[in-house]
Structure 1
């Protein structure tokens, strides 16, 4: 019980810190830029995993914007925002899983050199964002969702790099599809986790 009370009492102070606000703005800008780069790369290379990562960048940019919008609000509003973000993560995961299944029947092997180059650039961008947000990963549900987004992105970038190597080595699309499947599953699991945390906070707030 004391842990729950501490989270409710302490989270607003951490969330309102200038460092956290600045980190969110930087994360928002980085995600918008990388979405534009990756969506172009995904379309040009024909990579499902790169396209999935691009869509994820767009979703994260929206999530960071929502986080900034509720930064000065109470815990209940932050928890509601986390519910929205968790639902978007679940929707993203389901979308990618469906697109991966479709590509398994219709897709051709993607261009691995484009995949690898853009994945390295994205990893550098996401690695910097994840380092900035690491200190805020144990706040309220809203802050936790922001951290999970940045962590998932970095994992996804490494996976896309591995997929590019796999496509180059095998000459097939299966490594790309496998990584897209992994990214969709990770987004689905993380979204469910965020929704559960947010619902618990809302229940505690109501009580």
Structure 2
């Protein structure tokens, strides 16, 4: 998931800072659009895996937005932004997990054709972003992490496509529910880690202020 590999990007990373910023703006637009597309399609197709995969796009969008919006601000403001992002990821993850359990209880089954089509679209979006960021793969740790994150997200998209094939082949919702549950749990775990780190940073800021 996005939460495990994408840190806030350094926007002033040497001579490529301008092109890096433009790449982040494009990546932000693509990921934000795909978050909305996958979430709406997931609800329409009754697919929990699509909804869970949308969390990846949300996490990436939040990382890019934080990088672009709070770069250069004080650590306390960056930590507060990360705290909001982490809390939102946890809430979305809990919602997807609860939705998966509800689908299991009532026995609903998603629409595999729609799942597969949107999964392929999401894969194409992540491949596009990964190729766009490929030239930054040898930059600093922040640049590398964003490229690796986009590359790894494509694996999540493949899991959604595999779940769609599984639903089509078995005629049951189990592949969709399994993939969605795993991705939702990863989202909750990542969001909690982000919140924990943000709280530590805020605590460090308060301690520094107390000594001054």
**TM-score when scaled to structure 1?**
0.75
| Cα 1:186–1:135 shift into 2, 3 Å | farther
In structure 1, the partner of 2:170 is 170
What residue number does 2:61 align with?
61
1:77-104 Cα deviation digits (max 9, x unpaired): 2222112211111112111111111111
Q: Matched residues in 2 for 1:25 and 1:120: separation? A: 23
Counterpart of 2:81 in structure 1 is: 81
Deviation at 1:180, TM superposition (A): 0.8
Find the counterpart in structure 2 of residue 21 from structure 1: 21
Q: 1:68 to 1:93 in 2, by over 3 A?
A: same
Gaps of 5+ in 1: 1-10
Per-residue CA deviation, residues 30-88 of structure 1 (Å, 9 max, x unaligned), is: 02322343244324422121133336535653553343221231333222211221111
Q: Displacement of 1:115 after TM fit?
A: 1.1
How many residues matched?
Answer: 194
Counterpart position of 2:35: 35
C-alpha contact (below 8 Å) 1:137/1:147 kept by paired residues: no
Runs of at least 4 residues of structure 1 off by over 6 A? 146-149
For the aligned residues, what is the CA RMSD?
3.3
The 1:114–1:12 alpha-carbon spacing in structure 2 relative to 1, beyond 3 Å, is: closer
Contact 1:56 1:92 in 2 (8 A): no
Helix, strand or coil for the counterpart of 2:30? Answer: helix
- More deviation in 54-63 or 153-162? 54-63
Change beyond 3 A, Cα 1:90–1:172:
same
Shift of 1:137: 8.1
* Aligned equivalents of 1:136, 1:89: Cα separation in 2: 28
Q: Which moved more, 1:32-41 or 1:72-81?
A: 32-41
The aligned residue for residue 72 of structure 2 is 72
Contact 1:48 1:176 in 2 (8 A): yes
Please state whether the residue corresponding to 2:71 is helix, strand or coil.
coil
CA-to-aligned-CA distance 1:112-166 (integer Å, 9 cap, x gap): 2221121121012123335628667844xxx97x779756743431221121121
Counterpart contact for 1:152–1:186, Cα < 8 Å = no
Normalising by structure 2, we get a TM-score of 0.73
Change (3 A) 1:81 1:136: farther
CA 1:77 to 1:152, structure 2 compared with 1: closer, same or farther past 3 Å?
Answer: farther
The residue number in structure 1 matching 2:5 is none
Tell me which of the two structures has the higher relative contact order, counting C-alpha pairs closer than 8 angstroms and 6 or more residues apart: 2
